[in-house]
Amino acid sequence: MVEEENGPELPLSVCIITKNEQDKLPLCLRSIQWAPEVIVVDDFSSDNTPDICHRFKNVSYSTRKFEGFGIQKNYALDLAANEWVLNIDADEIVTDGLQTEIRDVVSRKTPFSGFFIRRKNLWFGKYYTDSFPGSLRLFRKHNGRFNQGYVHERVLLNGECGQLNGLLIHEPESYESFKKHYQTYVIEYGKLAARDYQQRGDRVTGLNAIWKIMLIPGLVFLREYFLKRKFMRGKAGLFVSVCSSICYHKAYVNLSRIQPKS
């Protein structure tokens, strides 16, 4: 069954990267049926992700082996045909209010090259909204590019950013339980971050080991828990802050194992 027809044509492409997202993807794609073009780049899913994509007329589906979040998202960006790009994940939903704002800004002249968007995140059964400004998600294709990071990718933008008030609803599988969150953000991301550090020429040595393996993770915890005010989120905020800290610890430990020996 093919989904509903698209709305009025807009100079907008939505980019999504996927891997076995059959549970979250349908709601995501329904929330962007109004977009004239949706680019899905899939890491050879073994579930029903391809079939779901093919049900939507505005979705262009392609496959590519995952080599890092930044690289994968730049590949999707290169496939986009329109002036503006909205980057979202398969576990995110564009709200009606955000849709209205996006339609407005991409349809008229604006001095901004990109816009920050906040998320309403489902953490362990309870919703929490990002503080301002959120993250850069909507930008002019020719003004933005993702860095080449394996993980913690971000848009490098040429130009000024504005702020949208509408929200993305974010319901990640990795926040469904403490166990899943630890597996994703400590074990898996710790491995990917180590590859990032190696790629940029970072090293763990006898002189900097204490700083990188112990002190940096401690500073990360202070940043997440206090500066980013996760202490306001009770036990969930404490757990997420601790996981962020341990991720940095694991990343540098993994780097010490994979780096060339002196």
pLDDT per position as a tens digit, 34-69 = 999 999 999 999 999 999 999 999 999 999 999 999
Q: What are 91-145's pLDDT values in tens digits?
A: 999 999 999 999 999 999 999 999 999 999 999 999 999 989 999 999 999 999 9
pLDDT at 261 (0 to 100): 84
Residue 3 has pLDDT above 70, yes or no: no
Give the three-class secondary structure for 107. Answer: helix
Q: What are 183-215's pLDDT values in tens digits?
A: 999 999 999 999 999 999 999 999 999 999 999
Tell me the CA distances in angstroms from 83 to 143, 150, 175, 230, one per residue in order. 10, 26, 34, 36
Q: Positive or negative, the Cα torsion across 250, 41, 100, 124? A: negative
| Residue in the structure block whose two tokens are 């979705």 | 59
Domains of the chain by start residue, with CATH: 12-115+137-160 (3.90.550.10), 177-258 (no CATH)
Return all residues near 240 (Cβ < 8 A) that are at least 6 apart.
123, 181, 185, 224, 230, 233
Strand ranges in 45-140 using DSSP code E only, listed in sequence order: 59-63, 84-87, 92-94, 114-123, 126-129, 135-140
Strand ranges in 150-261 using DSSP code E only, listed in sequence order: 155-157, 161-170
Tell me the CA distances in angstroms from 123 to 7, 173, 183, 233, one per residue in order. 33, 10, 15, 9
Query: How far is residue 156's CA from residue 158's CA, in Å, rounded to a whole number?
Result: 7
Go through 199-218 and write b for each residue having 16 or more CB atoms within 10 A of its CB, e for each that does not: eeeeebeeeeeeebbeebbe
Does residue 62 contact residue 79 with C-beta atoms inside 8 Å? yes
pTM score? 0.92
Average pLDDT over residues 240-244: 98
Does residue 22 contact residue 47 with C-beta atoms inside 8 Å? yes
CB atoms within 10 A of CB 54: 12
Name 38's bridge partners: 14, 59
Q: What is the widest separation between alpha-carbon atoms in the chain? A: 62
| Residue in the structure block whose two tokens are 């540098």 | 252
